[in-house]
């Protein structure tokens, strides 16, 4: 018997064009942050409808800078979902502020004004909302609530590129948003991130902070041909993106519409295949927008015949890579001893959900194999 062909959970969609773009950057002799990073920033900001883009090394560093921009530091509290990749909460701690975990709504896995209010205190200065798994958060409701309460709303859009709210890109109208180009996300530069904002002063400061707090960037000094003495205006970081990464990012951005429409098409087909399974609810578009299905997760009812981990085992036995659902940061050893309100929905989603394979070149036959295992596990 030949083993069935393995189905991965995610494969980035990269081709010859990306390979050529990276090679061109290498051949140009300018491989650190330079003209390609600047072009990628402009194209990305335009795509999401923001005035400024600041390319950085990852979404984790983008979040750190975004939280610095809004002025957070020791003594401040920031409301964050525990149901997120751990970098969301870590970025708050990197500023010296305290992450306060809020619960999420079951349908989207995202914060709502109600879940934020449940944990808000007089020390709360900001809310860090995540567009979890590419399901857009209801930013209109969150922005209104934050404005009323005098809180800054920072958006973790690591998974959000290509998702929309009210027909506009995630990031449009955001105070400040952070993005990821890790290969597990919708478009990739290997590693990489971006901050977007409409605030010119913040953009200027973050450009400096990502480059050691330098008054003049290395690329500008190189381009000028004259000696320019830079000053170091504040203590910064090295959070730069390379031009090799940015070259790949520019090509990937050009593929975004095609990638998102393929993901949505495959998600709609999963929805049909899985609809007959009782006690299994697939992630769906919320009423306020459309997702990009960066992570296609399904939630099992408490009385589903097989436990979540048993379903993952059965999928693995059939040669299918799936993943446990989105993690809950407050349950990790890194947050042991971090006082947290009860988070029943977060814990239920984290315990009973799993992420199914979904990638650009996935075939219908591969999807049928995934669905067959889930039907079998449901006892049908
Ligand atoms: C992936 C992810 C991050 C971290 O992104 P990196 O680019 O790997 O640093 C942060 N937040 C969320 C919600 C993520 O999914």
The count of residues in the chain is 380
Which residue has its alpha carbon closest to ligand 1 atom 6?
Answer: 59
Q: Is 109 exposed, middle or buried (0-12, 13-18, 19+ CB in 10 A)?
A: buried
Sheet holding 289-290, edge to edge: 168-169, 164-165, 289-290
Q: Tokens in use for 118?
A: 């449940």
Find the 85 Cα to ligand 1 centroid distance in Å.
Answer: 6
Q: Tokens in use for 173?
A: 């109208």
Task: Say what the pLDDT of residue 380 is.
Answer: 62
What values do phi and psi take at 345, rounded to 5?
-70, -45
Q: Residue 31 — very low, low, confident or very high, per pLDDT cuts 50/70/90?
A: very high
Architecture of domain 255-377: Alpha-Beta Complex (3.90)
- Site to probe by mutation for ligand 1, drawn from 85, 237, 323 as the one with most ligand atoms within 8 Å of Cβ, is 85
- Domain residue ranges in the chain: 16-254, 255-377
- CA 133 to ligand 1: nearest atom: 15
Q: Residue 115 — very low, low, confident or very high, per pLDDT cuts 50/70/90?
A: very high
Please answer whether residues 81 and 193 qualify as being in contact, where contact means their C-beta atoms are separated by less than 8 angstroms: no
> Average pLDDT for residues 116-142, to the nearest whole number?
98
How many CB atoms lie under 10 A from the CB of residue 119?
18
Q: Residue 2 — very low, low, confident or very high, per pLDDT cuts 50/70/90?
A: low
Q: Residue 319 — very low, low, confident or very high, per pLDDT cuts 50/70/90?
A: very high
Provide the β-strand partners of residue 164: 169, 290
Tell me which residues are annotated as active site.
185
Find the 167 Cα to ligand 1 centroid distance in Å.
Answer: 24
Q: Which residues line ligand 1 (CB under 6 A)?
A: 58-60, 84-85, 87-88, 130, 156, 158-159, 180, 182, 193
Read off the pLDDT of residues 143-187 as tens digits, 9 standing for 90 and up: 999 999 999 999 999 999 999 999 999 999 999 999 999 999 999
Q: What percent of the chain has pLDDT over 70?
A: 99
Task: Say what the pLDDT of residue 221 is.
Answer: 84
Read off the pLDDT of residues 259-299 as tens digits, 9 standing for 90 and up: 999 999 999 999 999 999 999 999 999 999 999 999 999 99
Could you tell me which of 274, 322, 268 has the C-alpha nearest to residue 290?
268
Does the domain at residues 16-254 carry the CATH identifier 3.30.43.10?
no
356 DSSP 8-state letter: E
- CA 193 to ligand 1: nearest atom: 7
> Average pLDDT for residues 353-359, to the nearest whole number?
98
What values do phi and psi take at 285, rounded to 5?
-65, 140
Residue 1 has pLDDT above 80, yes or no: no
Q: Taking the model in full, what pTM does it have?
A: 0.97
Please answer whether residues 130 and 156 qualify as being in contact, where contact means their C-beta atoms are separated by less than 8 angstroms: yes
């Amino acid at each position: 018997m030949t083993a069935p062909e393995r189905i991965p959970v995610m494969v980035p969609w990269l081709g010859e064009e990306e390979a050529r773009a990276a090679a061109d950057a290498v051949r140009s002799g300018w491989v650190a942050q330079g003209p390609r990073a600047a072009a990628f920033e402009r194209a990305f900001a335009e795509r999401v409808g923001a005035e400024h883009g600041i390319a950085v090394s990852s979404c984790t560093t983008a979040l750190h800078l975004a939280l610095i921009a809004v002025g957070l530091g020791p003594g401040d509290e920031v409301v964050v979902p525990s149901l997120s990749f751990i970098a969301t909460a870590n970025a708050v701690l990197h500023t010296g502020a305290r992450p306060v975990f809020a619960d999420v709504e079951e349908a989207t896995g995202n914060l709502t004004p109600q879940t934020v209010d449940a944990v808000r205190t007089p020390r709360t200065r900001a809310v860090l909302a995540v567009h979890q798994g590419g399901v857009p958060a209801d930013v209109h409701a969150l922005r209104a609530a934050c404005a009323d309460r005098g809180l800054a709303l920072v958006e973790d859009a690591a998974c959000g590129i290509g998702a929309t709210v009210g027909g506009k890109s995630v990031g449009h109208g955001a105070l400040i948003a952070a993005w990821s180009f890790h290969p597990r996300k919708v478009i990739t530069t290997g590693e990489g991130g971006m901050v977007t904002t409409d605030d010119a002063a913040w953009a200027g400061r973050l450009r400096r902070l990502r480059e050691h707090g330098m008054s003049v960037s290395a690329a500008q000094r190189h381009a000028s041909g004259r000696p320019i003495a830079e000053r170091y205006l504040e203590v910064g970081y090295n959070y730069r993106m390379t031009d090799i990464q940015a070259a790949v990012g520019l090509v990937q951005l050009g593929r975004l519409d095609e990638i998102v429409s393929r993901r949505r098409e495959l998600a709609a087909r999963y929805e049909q295949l899985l609809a007959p399974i009782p006690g299994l609810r697939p992630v769906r578009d919320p009423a306020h927008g459309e997702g990009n299905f960066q992570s296609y997760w399904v939630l099992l009812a408490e009385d589903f015949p097989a436990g979540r981990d048993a379903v993952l085992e059965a999928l693995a036995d059939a040669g299918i890579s799936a993943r446990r659902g989105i993690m809950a940061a407050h349950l990790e050893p890194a947050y042991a001893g971090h006082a947290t309100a009860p988070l029943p929905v977060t814990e239920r989603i984290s315990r009973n959900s799993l992420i199914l394979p979904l990638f650009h070149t996935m075939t219908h036959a591969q999807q049928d194999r995934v669905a067959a295992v889930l039907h079998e596990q449901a006892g049908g």
